[in-house]
Homo-oligomer: A and B are copies of this chain.
Amino acid sequence: MERIIKRGFASDNNSGAHPAVLQAMIDANEGHEIGYGDDYFTARAIEVVKKHFGEEVEVFLVFNGTGANVLSLNNLTDSFNSIICAETSHINEDECGAPEKFTGCKLLTTETENGKLTVDKIKKHIYGIGFEHHSQPKVISITQVTEMGTVYTVDEIREIAEYAHSKKMFLHMDGARLANAAVSLELGFQEFTADAGVDVLSFGLSKNGAVNAEAVIFFNKKLAKNFKYFRKQAMQLGSKMRFMAVQFETLLSGNIWKKNASHANNMAKLLVEKIKDIPQIKITQEVDANGVFAIVPAEIIPKLQEEFFFYMWDEHNSEVRWMTSFDTTEEDIEQFVALVKKLLKT
């Protein structure tokens, strides 16, 4: 069994890690550190997160995005609550029911055109308040960048946050690609999270060049109550936490997070630029960040996937998803587009 190195557009987590991340892990390897987060590197990671998100946050490292989402939601809810989200949201589509299983809550979904919730769409789920037969709505969960590659503006977030709070509900943000959103919005993290009314954030850097670096960030410390116990009970407490912690510091203390996200976004733009005029291909979503959705002639898809793996998004209409990453090269794009054109004989 010999490894054949391939490249593709399947997901930004198909990339490896930024070299600086791995070097930092080596640098942190000397000596002993108390396990489970009570160590020097985790303390530093929390400090660097606070520099981006504000001093008054509570930060907890977890293993993966599903863990971050489920534990965020769990701290906001009782089991009789419901959680409102887009039908396409990761918590609804891609976590195999983890939120329902751990929290006991019901997910209420809404169809969207572009992966974004709006107050109007949310409203249809707000009724039966105080009626014990009805799951009580408690959280609105949005994804930034959305699963459709679009980015909420600050105003869009703030409107949802204000509506949530007016109903005594909370706003959760799944920020698995938060860096790509920041770059897209040309804003600091705090400006479109804490400052826009988000209560709890799943903050992921795994898709930004980490090996694995995920955290839950509470913007209201009261909401973090007992989180440490739930994290442990949810099997999300790592032992040698220093190795995850240094990844946060590496990516966030300087500019690496921004360079990585900018590059990924730019590569998506480049892909669109090169492909948008091919008549047989239709770009279906705004390309706000590093995801490109397109309807492509079905017959070329398997051949494309052989060379550059990517996922079918919707088989019914031959829609695919192409994700770019911090390590996508211009050459990747060019070769890919050339292959598309060759297969389409354009």
Those of A182-224 within 8 Å (CB) of chain B: 206, 211-212
A237 contacts B29, C-beta separation under 8 Å: no
B44 contacts A31, C-beta separation under 8 Å: no
A235 contacts B238, C-beta separation under 8 Å: no
Q: Is A286 an interface residue (CB 8 A)?
A: no
B236 contacts A235, C-beta separation under 8 Å: yes
Of B1, B32, B94, B133, which is within 8 A of A95 by CB? B133
* Chain B CB within 10 Å, residue with most, of A11, A64, A65, A80: A80
* Chain B CB within 10 Å, residue with most, of A40, A97, A98: A97
State the CA gap A237–B105 with chains docked (Å). 18
Q: Is A132 an interface residue (CB 8 A)?
A: yes
State the CA gap A234–B8 with chains docked (Å). 29
The interface size of chain A toward B, counting residues with CB under 8 Å, comes to 85
Question: Given contacts A34-B10, A80-B229, A235-B70, are A25 and B96 in contact (CB under 8 A)?
Answer: no
Main SS of the interface on chain A? loop
Q: Is A93 an interface residue (CB 8 A)?
A: yes
B233 contacts A64, C-beta separation under 8 Å: no
Q: Is A30 an interface residue (CB 8 A)?
A: yes
Contact residues in B for A80 (Cβ distance below 8 Å): 96-97, 101, 226, 229-230, 232-233
Q: Is A43 an interface residue (CB 8 A)?
A: yes
Q: Is A106 an interface residue (CB 8 A)?
A: yes
State the CA gap A39–B246 with chains docked (Å). 25
Of B22, B96, B228, which is within 8 A of A29 by CB? B22
Q: Is A342 an interface residue (CB 8 A)?
A: no
Of B13, B66, B134, B234, which is within 8 A of A94 by CB? B134
Q: Is A231 an interface residue (CB 8 A)?
A: yes
In angstroms, how far is the closest chain B Cβ from the Cβ of A202? 12
Q: Is A331 an interface residue (CB 8 A)?
A: no
For A21, give the chain B residue with the smallest CB separation.
Answer: B29
9 A-B contact pairs sorted by A residue (CB < 8 Å): A1-B44, A8-B32, A15-B240, A16-B32, A64-B237, A64-B239, A97-B135, A132-B229, A235-B235
Binding site for B on A (CB under 8 A): 1, 3-8, 10-11, 13-17, 19, 22, 25-26, 28-36, 40-41, 43-44, 47, 63-67, 70, 78-82, 92-98, 100-102, 104-107, 109, 127, 132-136, 206, 211-212, 226, 228-240, 242-243, 309, 315
